[in-house]
Amino acid sequence: MSTLETTRAELGLVVVYLNKAEARDKICRAIQYGSKFLSDGQPGTAQNVDKSTSLARKVFRLFKFVNDLHALISPVPKGTPLPLVLLGKSKNALLSTFLFLDQIVWLGRTGIYKDKERAELLGRLSLFCWMGSSVCTSLVEIGELGRLSASIKKLEKEMGSKDKHQNEQYRAKLEKSKERSLALIKAGMDVVVAFGLLQLAPKKVTPRVTGAFGFASSLISCYQLLPSHPKPKTV
pTM above 0.85, yes or no: yes
Q: What is the pLDDT of residue 33?
A: 97
Q: What is the pLDDT of residue 156?
A: 84
216 or 22: which leads in pLDDT? 216
Q: Read off the pLDDT of residues 29-46 as tens digits, 9 standing for 90 and up.
A: 999 999 999 999 999 999
φ, ψ (nearest 5 deg) of residue 22: -65, -40
Residue 109 to residue 192: CA distance in whole angstroms: 25
Per-residue pLDDT, averaged over 137-163, amounts to 90
Mean pLDDT of the chain: 90
What band does 122 get if pLDDT is binned at 50, 70 and 90?
very high
Domain locations along the chain: 1-60+202-229
Percent of the chain scored above 70 by pLDDT?
Answer: 96
Ranked by mean pLDDT, the top range of 6-20, 67-81, 133-147, 159-173 is 133-147
Q: What is the pLDDT of residue 232?
A: 44
Q: What is the pLDDT of residue 18?
A: 84
Q: What is the pLDDT of residue 211?
A: 97
Q: What is the pLDDT of residue 89?
A: 97
What band does 54 get if pLDDT is binned at 50, 70 and 90?
very high
Q: What is the pLDDT of residue 182?
A: 96
Residue 152 has pLDDT above 60, yes or no: yes
Residue 234 has pLDDT above 70, yes or no: no
Per-residue pLDDT, averaged over 75-85, amounts to 92
What band does 224 get if pLDDT is binned at 50, 70 and 90?
very high
